[in-house]
């Protein structure tokens, strides 16, 4: 089974698939699958209007996504988990999040540089992508926020 946003990442799917996916529950998987289809068709980006999100909301969610990855790089798993909605908290508890991060990123404590975030709306959620770079590795972190600002999806893309 392939991740909703491309190759392996922290996503829905059965635990253990390709050693990189984490079970988020059927509802979350369906929502992410729908978002992936929408994103693949080229949703409007923030620059052309992000479907009902104010510029201040977009900026706040972009900043929150940046803090989320900063907290992950620093090993503050409980802080990250606290930003999740209830489905994400039950499907991706701190221990599983840490294991997924270690597989996708150089680990904790490494010098992380974040690129310019971009945002798109997908099915009522705001999806923020942030390029993440370490001295020897680059990935893209993708976070989906619901209208209340809770994290409803998280992917680490190679």
- SS3 for the chain is CCECCECCCCCCCCCCHHHCCCCCCHHHHHHHHHHHHHHHCCCCEHHHCCCCCCHHHHHHHHHHHHHHHHHHHCCCHHHHHHCECHHHHHHCCHHHHHHHHHHHCCCCCCCCEECCCEEEEECCEEEEEEEEEECCEEEEEEEEECCCCCEEEEEEEC
CATH class for the region spanning 21-157: alpha beta
pLDDT tier at 106, thresholds 50, 70, 90: confident
pTM of the model: 0.68
The confidence band for 92, taking pLDDT boundaries of 50, 70 and 90, is very high
- The predicted-structure confidence for 8-33, as pLDDT tens digits, reads as follows 334 433 333 333 333 444 444 444 43
Domain ranges for the chain: 21-157
Q: What is the pLDDT of residues 127-140, one digit of tens each?
A: 999 999 988 889 99
């Amino acid at each position: 089974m392939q991740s909703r946003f491309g190759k392996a990442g922290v996503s829905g799917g059965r635990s253990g698939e390709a050693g990189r996916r984490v079970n988020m529950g059927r509802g979350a998987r369906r929502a992410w699958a729908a978002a992936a289809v929408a994103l693949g068709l080229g949703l409007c980006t923030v620059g052309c209007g992000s479907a009902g999100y104010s510029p201040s909301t977009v900026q706040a969610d972009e900043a929150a996504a940046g803090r989320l990855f900063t907290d992950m790089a620093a090993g503050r798993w409980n802080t990250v988990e606290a930003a999740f909605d209830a489905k994400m908290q039950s499907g991706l508890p701190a221990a599983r999040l840490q294991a997924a991060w270690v597989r996708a990123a150089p680990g904790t404590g490494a010098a992380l540089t974040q690129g310019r975030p971009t945002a798109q709306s997908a099915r009522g959620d705001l999806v923020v992508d942030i390029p993440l770079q370490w001295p020897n590795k680059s990935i893209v972190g993708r976070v989906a926020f619901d209208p209340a600002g809770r994290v409803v999806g998280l992917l680490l893309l190679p």
